[in-house]
Amino acid sequence: AVHNASTGKVDRFTVHWIDTATGTPGSATARNVVVATGGSPAVPPLFAPFTTGEDVRFIHSSQYATSIPRLSPTLLAAGSPQHFVVVGGGQSAAEIYVDLASRFPAAKITLLVKDTSLRPSDDSPFVNEIFDPDRVSPTYELNAAERAAKREKDKGTNYGVVRLELLERIYSDLYAQEVDDPCESNWRCRVRDSRTVVAVQRLEGGAGGVRLEVARTGAENGEREAVEAGLVVFATGYVRDAHVRILEGTRALLESEVAKAAENTAAAAPEAVEAPAPSAEVVAPAVVPEAPKETVTETTTTTTTTTTTSSSASEPSPESASADEQVKITVEVNSAPAVFPVGRDYKVQYAPGAVEEGAGIWLQGCNEKTHGLSDTLLSILAHRGGEVVGSIFGPGAGSK
């Protein structure tokens, strides 16, 4: 954050980045910054140690489309378990399960679902209106508890659900398989519901592979089943908290932090002394973030700096993943909470008087808790972009 010499308020922000291809650092300063980093793969802590190294047998669903052609020779090598496991109960998990069954006709494919069954997505017309732009304001105006209840009620539109036509295809294939051979141990493809992976270890020997210990959901301390696999694809969704790390250098501008600093000052010095206005431009110590775990593109103009990444806003289909999504994934499910409050116009709400009126930071794609389920999806993207432009340049600017 860069302070104005005459007002003492922040009127610019310096954005630091690292070129992921060369490791070269860079920076730019702008009055207006838009942070649109998308989602980062949510990696269960149990799987994290197995996502790196020379013999990677665990990949996130976002990496599937770009990784599977490269991994195919390894997966088909002699001695490697010809059994591939998909973990998850959403659209991505179901699509990857079907693709693996088609791509590797001699291999066994298992889909492990934590829930009691695969569930259909609700895309009926009235329910789908929750994604309309005019639903954002009513959602934002609710209190936190009401918004949480609304998200829970509407999550069947987007989270842990599968399109009905794909469910019917999977069910039909499994039914035909059972008709051909009633012996379950001979089935090539299986969907195992109410299952949770509780332990993982690498198989000994040069062929590679892993052994999963699987228990019934809710009875993780009970009887376990050992499952050997040559590949595990986990479709465990995304976390959208990259902005917390990116904005760490501005945390002191938050109202809660300003109040905390004032309390500490009052406790240390009974008589408060008004600090003089700075006599020259002051650049606050910049917190340069660690090398991004995703490919980052910085686009800078004289007015606005926008931060974007290649991660999809929702769980992608296998066909939609890009080469940029072959990333090191170390994000855990229990990530840092969002601590940067935003207004209805997506602008970060710093302490009153801390930032000049014409300067600010706007967040996109990480405001689901305040702006509704549409925030992470494409349905609101263009309209939201217009609102952000209008917030930066004034009413009506977003429609020109």
Model pLDDT for residues 116-132, shown as the tens digit of each residue: 999 999 999 999 999 99
- Residue whose structure tokens are 């794609």: 365
Domains belonging to the chain, first-starting first, are 2-40+240-312+336-366 (no CATH), 48-121+158-236 (3.50.50.60)
pTM: 0.77
Which residues pair with residue 15 across a beta bridge? 28
Sheet architecture: strand order including 10-18: 25-30, 10-18, 2-3, 282-283
Looking at residue 4, what is its pLDDT? 83
Where are any strands of DSSP class E within 174-291? 189-192, 195-202, 210-216, 224-229, 231-234, 238-239, 282-283
Which is nearest to 1 in space by CA: 381, 354, 400?
A: 354
Give the model's confidence band at 281: pLDDT under 50 very low, under 70 low, under 90 confident, else very high: very low
Q: Would you say residue 208 has pLDDT above 80?
A: no
Give the model's confidence band at 62: pLDDT under 50 very low, under 70 low, under 90 confident, else very high: very high
Q: Would you say residue 335 has pLDDT above 50?
A: no
